Amino acid sequence: MGESIVITSGKGGVGKTTTTANIGAALAMEGKKVVVIDADIGLRNLDLVLGLENRIVYDIVDVVTGVCRIKQALIKDKRFDNLYLLPAAQTKDKNAVNPEQMKDLIMDLKKTHDFVIVDCPAGIEQGFKNAISGADRAIVVTTPEISAVRDADRIIGLLEAAEIHDPLLIVNRLRIDMARRGDMMNVEDIEDILAIDLIGVVPDDEEVVMSTNRGEPAVFKENSLSGMAFRNVSKRLIGESVPFMEFDVQESFFNKLKRALSFGK
């Protein structure tokens, strides 16, 4: 029996879909059998990020309405044989599926896969309710902005109300230099407000933008910082303890000199 994890955030544009694709791919790299589900019916994106858009024949609505079998709708990833995508429908809306159907679907998928990762749509309406039904755990994605953190807080409350306890936190798109200078919220501030366990910090990385546009998750890039961060998240998910990355930004010569001088005093 596998485990189902919903990736949610409340606010849009914080990187839920990118996170889902990367964690899914990273878990597959670890040798797990993974299926990622796009629950954002009507605004599907996960297929794009994984570069599988043109392979879609059936979608999640076809599965729950019995048009096809689950197996027919699952799309095998180009790079990994043990990563599958269940795409959302584009021409329907969130009401095409109800929480009971999602629950049954995820239950079925859990029997044959190690991880079922659900990409939740933004918002707290029907789409959110569908996505979290059937989830064993939740990962809340936020960025270091007060609006995203506020929404994440609300989401954590809603998750608890839905009996999904102890959600995990990913701080995405952190700009280390800005956080250092105190111009941006840092990870400690966010942990302080949300008071849930941190499972990963993903730095702001141009590589993510580029790889997303190419349709291949950043985890495939060996030397990418964000890819590394997602690989660490997936390792923590399967129970390995991996130390958090030290984000050493290049210190300017002047700063180094200043530090050296003050140390000498």
Applying CB under 8 A, the site for other proteins has a residue count of 10
51 or 167: whose CB is closer to other proteins?
A: 51
74 or 176: whose CB is closer to other proteins?
A: 74
CB of 41 to other proteins, least distance (A): 10
CB of 215 to other proteins, least distance (A): 9
Do the Cβ atoms of 162 and 103 come closer than 8 Å? Answer: no
2 or 87: whose CB is closer to other proteins?
A: 87
Residue 52 dihedral angles phi and psi, to the nearest 5°: -115, 15
| Binding status of residue 126 toward other proteins by CB under 8 A | no
Binding mask 23-52 for other proteins (x = CB under 8 A): -------------------xxx--------
CB of 228 to other proteins, least distance (A): 28
40 or 151: whose CB is closer to other proteins?
A: 40
* Angle (CA) 165 171 174, round 5°: 175
3-class SS letters over the chain: CCEEEEEECCCCCCCHHHHHHHHHHHHHHCCCCEEEEECCCCCCCHHHHCCCHHHCCCCHHHHHCCCCCHHHHCEECCCCCCEEEECCCCCCCHHHCCHHHHHHHHHHHHHHCCEEEEECCCCCCHHHHHHHCCCCEEEEEECCCHHHHHHHHHHHHHHHHCCCCCCEEEEEEECHHHHHHCCCCCHHHHHHHHCCEEEEEEECCHHHHHHHHHCCCHHHCCCCHHHHHHHHHHHHHCCCCCCCCCCCCCCCHHHHHHHHHHHHC
Please give the residues from 50 up to 109 whose contact with other proteins meets the rule CB under 8 A.
53-57, 90-91
71 or 180: whose CB is closer to other proteins?
A: 71
Binding mask 231-250 for other proteins (x = CB under 8 A): --------------------
45 or 234: whose CB is closer to other proteins?
A: 45
Binding mask 170-209 for other proteins (x = CB under 8 A): ----------------------------------------
CB of 90 to other proteins, least distance (A): 5
Question: For binding to other proteins (CB under 8 A), which residues are involved?
Answer: 42-44, 53-57, 90-91
